[in-house]
Every structure is written in C-alpha cells, then in structure tokens.
Amino acid sequence: MDTQGGVWDAGAAEQAVAVLKAVADPSRYRLLWALNEQELPVSRLAELIGAHVAATSQHLARLRAAGLVTSRREGTRIYYRAAGRQVRALLESAVLAGDAAGVPEDAAEADEVPAAVAQERPAAARARRRPVVEH
C-alpha cells in the first residue's frame, strides 16, 4: 500500500492495521498521549490511567510490539516513551479523523458513542485537540 495511493502492499497494510489496533483502546490511547509528553515509569503510568501496574504493563507491551513506544531500564524501573514524532502525528490524525467523521462533541449525552470514548475527549481536551492526561 503505497503512501501515494498507487501500489497495494499487503505487508504494509497488515502493519498499519496492527498499529491501529494497538491504539484502539482508550487506556492505550491515553498512555501514548502521556508518553508523547515525557518519559515515565510503569507505576506512574498506571496512576495516570487508573489501572493496576500489571494491566498497564500489558498495554505497554502491546504498544511496544506495534513499535509505538520504547523502553529503557534504570535499576529495577522500566521507563517508557513514545517511539518518535510519528506517534504524536498518529494521535492527532485520529482526533482529526473523528472530527471529519462527524462524531459529535457531546456524543456521550446523545448516546452516539460509548461513554468511555467520550470521556477521552472532555471539553478542555477538545479545545487543545488532545485528551487531558494528568501528570
């Protein structure tokens, strides 16, 4: 699948789908936003998304397998960060695609999208065009 739209490359298509599947979870999406801003340990990331460390580690493993995050070990701690600027571009593209698809900003009240998805786009985040991740 050529980026110019000409040639279909099945391998590239499968890789793109794997990346999209990795991001298609609200917790992983929030993790990527947080890691786009700074490098963080698993324990802090778990706090940010309100999940257990084990569940957060599984999310991070999925993101790492998709090539979206990298890690480094410092003693007993493992720190994660976004794999590059392309991760932020992917996240911003997802927001833009949602806007282009006509997903209403108040969709949670309208029951048009699941509440978990609407929660990812509070009013402050819409104003900045990205979800809020508390640090």
Q: What is the pLDDT of residues 19-65, one digit of tens each?
A: 999 999 999 999 999 999 899 999 999 999 999 999 999 999 999 99
In this predicted model, which residue has the larger pLDDT, 118 or 61?
A: 61
CA–CA dist 9, 46 (Å, integer): 37
Q: Is residue 29 part of a domain?
A: yes
CA–CA dist 21, 73 (Å, integer): 26
Q: Is residue 39 part of a domain?
A: yes
Q: Is residue 2 part of a domain?
A: no
Look at the pTM and tell me if it is higher than 0.75: no
CATH code, domain carrying 46: 1.10.10.10
Task: With a cut of 50, say whether residue 85 has pLDDT above it.
Answer: yes
Total domain count, the chain: 1
Residue 67 binned pLDDT confidence (cut-offs 50, 70, 90): very high
Enclosing domain of residue 77: 10-128
Q: Is residue 114 part of a domain?
A: yes
Q: Is residue 4 part of a domain?
A: no
